[in-house]
Amino acid sequence: MPHHSIVRDSATPAFTLDLMQSLLRHVYVENHRRTNTPARFAPSKHPFDDDNDDDLMDFPDTPEDVPTLPSYQTTAADNLGPEEIAEWQSRGIDPYATAADGTNRLQQPKLPLTRLIFAARFAAIFNTPEMARSLVSPQAVTLLSIPDDAERELFFEMFPDILEQTAQALDEAGIHLHGIAVAELPNVQAASSHRGRKEFNDKVDRLIAKGNNVIVVARTRDDLPRSGQLLCTRTATLPPVTGDMVIEILRQTHSITGKLSDVAIRGRFPNDAAFQELPMPLVKSAFAEQTTLEVADRLLALTRRLGTGKVARGPSLDAIYLPPQAQQDMKHLLSDLGQWQAGNLPWSEVTSSVLLYGPPGTGKTLLAQALAGSAGIPLIATSYGICQKAGHQGDFLRTLSESVENAIACAPCVFFIDELDSFSKRSVSHRNSGYVAAIVNALLEHLTKLNDTAGVIVLGATNLPENVDPAIIRPGRFDRHTALENPNRAGIKRICEIELGASAQDLDLATVADRLLGMSGAQVAAVVRDARGNARHSNTTLCNQHLHAAVDHVAPEGRQEDLHRIAIHEAGHAVVAHILGLPLPDMVRITARGGAYLGKIPFAATKKNVCDQIAVTLGGRAAEAVLLGSVSNGAESDLEQATEIAFKARYSWGLYPNNLLSLSSVKLTHLDPLAPLGSVVNSDIRGHYLRAKEIVEDNVKLVERVAAALLEQREIDGDALAEVLAAHNITNSDRPTEALIG
């Protein structure tokens, strides 16, 4: 294929652009010759009779009979200076597309826009020469995915000619296509009938049996008969129209020289996401304009009427709060996407699937919207609930399949699937096991297909990752797992600043952040909206009074004695962990609604590690008992966690001698302290509690100092906690602790 001296500022790989340019030239020239000399250049015919071998297409080895058009080597721009070129462009005239003698385009009775657009989209499938050669791998079956029935039928009418012209364009690049057989899935109504499906399957099977290379134009891989699925070496989705495609079409339809004012055109173009929202009749209507620049201006005007244009709708990553790690993950993903779009990074090197997990209200859906907004690409969203609303199992699967096909057709895009924890584990037996297995299996197939589709970023969201079937969230389906936890103090302040805008600098956000600790990002944003409402209803400017009143609705000031008890409780956890040499928590915080001790459980569950972990878990209750003389219900979740760990240590993990029996965790719900099983577990927990209590008794002053720091700061990270602990003399117990391990 010829390499033209043109400016390229494109996300499309160079090989693809060269192939697209050559293919469009063949399509345009042949149409020109047909419309001007119909007797000599009649349309080629490709009968597809099921009773003969005419399905097999033969392509010429060399393009000897390819017609040519007049060639204009000198452009008007060659005789103009930079200021004159800019002046022409300001008047909507493209001096590069205009010949030196003023000729700017060949006249045709009718532009073959539909054929040119389909040809450009087909060429965009081939990013490398290897992808083109894959069409002629021995007995290869290639699936060309076009989910929409009407579009698939229209494309297939033109496909034989387009495929022949593609062969001619590839021949110029030294890639030789020989016989290729083609088959098309009929529309939904015909395909759903037994006769229509049988005729399609029989045709594909017959072509395969003859040893042909076959291209099947269908919706998804599931449409292929069994033989086609086994031999299918590649699935390609006909991509949507992009700015690069429009420029290459303009090079044929509106340039007599084969050159364009590339930079000026791209400066006037809408983005690719806007192109995808623009109905095809409107895209075609823009080509009625006389010059390349006028076409670009018309397209931009049309997209602005739809509310699109240069700026993608929705928030951007810069406009929302994300925890540092999540922010870094998304920035890296955006960078890799840009590198792929520029042709500098293969899609296989992009970590394009991310599982977002964390409590409700932490911004998982908002993150998906912001990622799509920052990338300027569409967001295709679905959820378990949306699919379930469609009806019975068949409707569920159809709705899920349609959303996946839509994402593939819109690539590049973000595909977001929420409520992944509803796709529960297939290993758990219950009355709906068959239903769950079918739903999960379908999702697994779709995730594999999405991960194999270049340009599709897959985001999944769940509040409870431990409830999701493990096959769904393994690498290969979700390569990266990103936590979205409730924001810390700095995060709460940042959310308030984003929500309040310029007025944030005049408000006391530090106090607000202290009182809202432990709340989700969505709850914090709701507080700010409530404050704005208070100000609006009182017809005054937003001030601290409005903000504090909104905070009072959701986080009333707690009693000092309650905050003191909570601080003692959380300090007990920290001091026991420190004395036992366990890693300190990532964060400790106290609020009027309770405390939080956020740490990581050691990976290696040895007997000593497990016993130490249980002691730390019970350290809060022990601190209340020792320093306050009583315990509260604040230890309820601690006791639940300690019971589960103690049960698993003895009856699941085999950590105790002479007991290799593994019992289901369901037994936990039936534990009775008076029964033998419950009595043993209760005895283990009591031993660990007494151990934690002894540690607290030996370090009362240290517990008080950590509690005082918590009362003052409300939130302490692991590094700051280490400084508090290291700043004081610690008197360790002389009693041996190993003997206390049951």
CATH code, 695: 1.20.58.760
Residue 722, helix vs strand vs coil: helix
Regarding whether 510 and 578 lie in a shared domain, the answer is no
Q: Same domain, yes or no, for 710 and 650?
A: yes
592-640: pLDDT as tens digits: 788 888 876 555 578 888 899 999 999 999 999 999 999 988 778 889 8
Please tell me the predicted confidence (pLDDT) of residue 681. 85
- Average pLDDT for the chain: 81
Question: Which domain-ending residue is among 192, 217, 237?
Answer: 237
Same domain, 529 and 595: no
- Bridge-based pairing of strands 180-184 and 56-57 is antiparallel
What pLDDT does residue 376 have? 83
Both 535 and 459 in one domain: the answer is: no
Q: Which pTM was predicted?
A: 0.55
**Are 191 and 197 within 8 A, CB to CB?**
yes
Q: Which of 294, 499, 570, 715 is catalytic?
A: 570
For residues 174 and 193, membership in a common domain is answered with yes
Closest CA to 187 of 178, 199, 175, 176: 199
Could you tell me which of 476, 449, 473 has the C-alpha nearest to residue 462? 473
Kindly state the average pLDDT of the residues 78-84.
88
Does 332 share its domain with 209?
Answer: no
Does residue 163 share a domain with residue 25? Answer: yes
- pLDDT of 245: 92
Q: What share of the chain is helix, strand, coil (3-state, %, to 5)?
A: 55, 10, 35
Position 503 scores a pLDDT of: 81
Using the predicted structure, report yes or no on whether residue 313 has a pLDDT greater than 80: no
Does residue 3 belong to any structural domain of this protein?
A: no
Of 565, 578, 509, 534, which is closest to residue 731 (Cα–Cα)? 578
pLDDT, position 742: 39
Each residue of 228-277: pLDDT tens digit? 888 888 888 888 888 889 999 999 889 888 888 888 888 888 877 777 77
Per-residue pLDDT, averaged over 277-286, amounts to: 87
Please indicate, yes or no, if residue 257 is contained in any of the structural domains: no
Nearest-Å Rg of the Cα atoms of the chain is 33
- Which residues, other chains included, contact 389 with Cβ-Cβ below 8 Å and sequence gap of 6+? none
Domain boundary among 483, 498, 529: 483
Residues 594 and 719 placed together within one structural domain of the fold: yes
Q: Is residue 280 part of a domain?
A: no
Q: Which pLDDT tens digit goes with each residue over 470-502?
A: 899 998 889 999 999 888 888 888 888 888 888
Q: CA dihedral defined by 466, 471, 474, 479, rounded to 10 degrees? A: -110
Domain shared by 514 and 412, yes or no:
no
Tell me the HSE value of 535 on the side-chain side, using a 13 A CA sphere. Answer: 16
In this predicted structure, what is the pLDDT of residue 656? Answer: 82
> Residues 162, 205: one domain?
yes
What tokens were used for 520? 């989700």
Q: Judge whether 124 lies within some domain.
A: yes
Per DSSP, the three-state class of 596 is strand
Digit-coded pLDDT (tens) for 450-469: 988 888 999 999 998 888 98
- pLDDT over 60 at 57, yes or no: no
570 is catalytic: yes
User: Among the residues of 390-482, which ranges form H helices?
Assistant: 393-409, 433-451
| Position 39 pLDDT exceeds 50 | no
Question: Is residue 74 a part of any domain in this protein?
Answer: no
Give me the half-sphere count of Cα atoms (radius 13 Å) on the Cβ side of residue 340.
21
Count Cα atoms within 13 angstroms, Cβ side, for 405: 18
For residues 162-177, average pLDDT? 87
The reply to whether 34 falls in a domain is: yes
pLDDT the model gives residue 5? 33
Same-domain status, 453 and 537: no
In this prediction, residue 106 carries a pLDDT of 60
Q: What is the pLDDT of residue 246?
A: 93
Residue 730 has pLDDT above 50, yes or no: no
Q: Do 457 and 537 share a structural domain? A: no
Q: What is the mean pLDDT of residues 106-123?
A: 83
Q: Give the end of a domain, one of 216, 237, 258.
A: 237
Per-residue pLDDT at 67 exceeds 50: no
Comparing C-alpha atoms, which of 228, 225, 202, 227 is closest to residue 215? 228
Q: Does residue 421 contact residue 438 with C-beta atoms inside 8 Å? A: no
CATH number at residue 323: 3.40.50.300
The domain containing residue 179 runs over which residues?
Answer: 14-69+106-237
pLDDT for 278: 83
Q: CB of 212 within 8 A of CB of 180?
A: yes
Q: In the chain, how many domains are there?
A: 4
CA distance 724 to 716: 10
Provide the pLDDT for residue 668. 61
Residue of 712 and 312 predicted with greater confidence: 712
Is 518 domain-assigned?
Answer: yes
Structural domain includes residue 82: no
- Percent of the chain residues topping a pLDDT of 90: 22
For residue 625, the model assigns a pLDDT of 93
> When comparing pLDDT for 736 and 395, which is higher?
395
